[in-house]
Amino acid sequence: MARTGRRPGNSGAREAILASAQELFSSVGFQRATIREVAREAGVDPALVHHYFGTKDDLFVAVLDLPANPGELLPGALAGDPDGLGERIVWTFLKAWDGQAGQRPLLALVRSATSNESAARMVREFVEHTIRARLATVIDADDAPLRTALAASQMAGLAITRYVLRLEPLASAPPATVVAAIGPTIQRYLRGDLDA
Amino acid sequence: MARTGRRPGNSGAREAILASAQELFSSVGFQRATIREVAREAGVDPALVHHYFGTKDDLFVAVLDLPANPGELLPGALAGDPDGLGERIVWTFLKAWDGQAGQRPLLALVRSATSNESAARMVREFVEHTIRARLATVIDADDAPLRTALAASQMAGLAITRYVLRLEPLASAPPATVVAAIGPTIQRYLRGDLDA
């Protein structure tokens, strides 16, 4: 027999964890928030937080209501020929966001990150810790933080112009066109010469 | 003797024109709004709109409370060696926005453009008509609209990461570092090979 309905209380615990995580990420930031503290505020055991949401990264993704965890998508894009890194990152990004499912939460994220400082701080810390840590495996330069930030600037700008402002013809350009145009930018920011 | 104070009524007319322009840009868009219509809605003569605000571009800049008119700054960046175009555009952008005076209206612009469709449309049409028309003088390619949109995506992303998210080390990077890193991107988007 298929399971129907939920056990009473589970939904409440899940919501309480999400609410507590949102509150904590906003007040102390992504970096300082701990699963233990989220659990304490929600009145549940830390094991239940891990059970429902996995890692702190995953919990953050759930709070932001993102359709995919950039920290999980990135390793797939990073594997392979280093010369194709930029193009693979742009492809991965478009695959995750071009679908309608990705755009509502992306809009919500952009709106909150540009309109309140605590959301901006969450995004900033997520980029600094999660994205940057993943990229560190393929960029071993001293200036890796600047390189990551430059790549983030182009990807954020692509999101804004393609999905929010919908500036044509970039908004409707086929993914291959976008990858050919922007892939080399990301490649240079991550591994090329920045003093040219 | 120095003039002190304003003639009564002037301030009211100026405010009425701004309110009417904001309303009209929002409802019919930048492109379809006319000075004549703005004047009619504000109950003043069109000549008074021109007297206070100059062109429709200038009126738009006043509505957005921008410290500088991008359409006026751009020609200075466009003049000169075509190979240095990208770097000059990034320099011009940083000179206008790096100062504190530029950042409050920039934040307001980003916030409203990402949070409501009519503001997004105003910005989109301003880029399409004013920025694109200026750039057309230095890009004579068939794909000039795509090139302009790509450059806009990087400049918007720079604004978001440097001023709104304040992602380090990009947020505090000296202008020369930003120009060296991002100038070649803009150069390639506007005049380079996009199919590489």
Q: What integer pLDDT is reported at residue B7 of this predicted model?
A: 44
Global pTM? 0.79
Is A157 in contact with B158 (Cβ distance < 8 A)?
yes
Q: Which residues of A touch B151 (CB under 8 A)?
A: none
What are the Cα distances from residue B67, in Å, to A24, A157, B35? 37, 22, 21
What part of A 159-188 touches B (C-beta under 8 Å)? Answer: 160-162, 164-170, 173, 177, 180-182, 184-185, 188
Instruction: Report CA Rg, chain A.
Output: 18
Between B123, B154, B166, which is nearest A165 by CB? B123
A29: pLDDT confidence band, cut at 50, 70 and 90?
confident
**Does residue A113 have a pLDDT over 90?**
no
Q: Which two tokens stand for residue A83?
A: 């010369």
Q: Which residues of A touch B157 (CB under 8 A)?
A: 152-158, 160
ipTM: 0.78
Element housing A148 (H / E)? helix A144-159
**Does residue A101 have a pLDDT over 70?**
no
**Does residue B3 have a pLDDT over 60?**
no
With CA atoms as reference, report the closest residue to B194 among B138, B135, B128, B146: B146
Compute how many other C-beta atoms are within 10 angstroms of the C-beta atom of residue B5. 6
Q: Which residues of B touch A107 (CB under 8 A)?
A: 114
Q: What integer pLDDT is reported at residue B91 of this predicted model?
A: 95
The mean per-residue pLDDT over the stretch B7-25 comes to 80
B9: pLDDT confidence band, cut at 50, 70 and 90?
low
Q: What integer pLDDT is reported at residue B95 of this predicted model?
A: 87
**Does residue A28 have a pLDDT over 50?**
yes
Residue with tokens 């949401």: A53
Q: What integer pLDDT is reported at residue B196 of this predicted model?
A: 62
Q: What integer pLDDT is reported at residue B67 of this predicted model?
A: 64
B142: pLDDT confidence band, cut at 50, 70 and 90?
confident
What are the Cα distances from residue B128, in Å, to A3, A167, A193, B38, B132? 54, 8, 32, 21, 5
**Does residue A13 have a pLDDT over 50?**
yes
Is B114 in contact with A164 (Cβ distance < 8 A)?
yes
**Does residue A2 have a pLDDT over 60?**
no
Compute how many other C-beta atoms are within 10 angstroms of the C-beta atom of residue A139. 20
pLDDT digits (tens, 9 = 90+) for A56-66: 888 888 887 77
**Does residue A3 have a pLDDT over 60?**
no
CA angle B21/B27/B31 to nearest 5° reads: 70
Residue A148 or B106, more confident: A148
